[in-house]
Structure 1
Amino acid sequence: MTDTARAVADAGVESRPRIVAALIRITGDWTLAEDCAQEALALALERWPKDGVPANPGGWLMTVARNRAVDVLRRATVERRKLEELAMLASTEPEEVPAVDDRLRLIFTCCHPALALEARVALTLRTIAGVPAADIARTFLVTESTMTRRLTRAKAKIATAGIPYRVPTGAALTERLPGVLAVLYLLFTRGYDTEGEPAFAEEAIRLARLLRALMPGEPEVSGLLALFLLQHSRRAARRDADGNLLTLDQQDRGRWDHAAIGEAVALLPAQPGPYALQARIAACHVASPSDWPTAATLYDELYGLLPTPVIALNRAVAHGYAHGAASGLVLLAEARAGGALDAYPYVLAVEADLTARAGDVERAVSLFERAAAAAPTEPERRALLTRAEDLTR
Structure 2
Amino acid sequence: MFSLLALTAGALAGSVAAQSSSSAAAAVATSKAATATTAAANADSTILVDKTFTWGDLPYKVDTDPTGRGPQSGYNICNSTTVGPDSQCQTAFINSPSDFCLWGPADPNGEIGDIEASSVAYCTTPDHGTRVMPANTITALQFLTAPAYIQVTGLINQANIDEDPNDSGGELDPHGADGRGNPLGALVFTSAFPQSNGNLTDYLQVIEWHSFMGSGIFCFKACNPNVAGSKAYCDNLFDLLGCEYNAPAAYAPGVFESCLSDNQDPPGTYTGSDGVVSTFTQPPDGTPITSMPYQPKVPATSSCTTLTSASLFTAAASASVSGSTAATATGAAASSAATAKTSTGTGTTAKSTSTSTSTSSTSAAGSQFEVAKLGGVAIIAIGALVGAIMVV
**Which structure dedicates a bigger proportion of its chain to strand?**
2
TM-score by length of 1: 0.24
Higher RCO structure (Cα 8 Å, ≥6 apart): 2
More helix as a share of residues: 1
Q: Using structure 2 for the length normalisation, give the TM-score.
A: 0.24
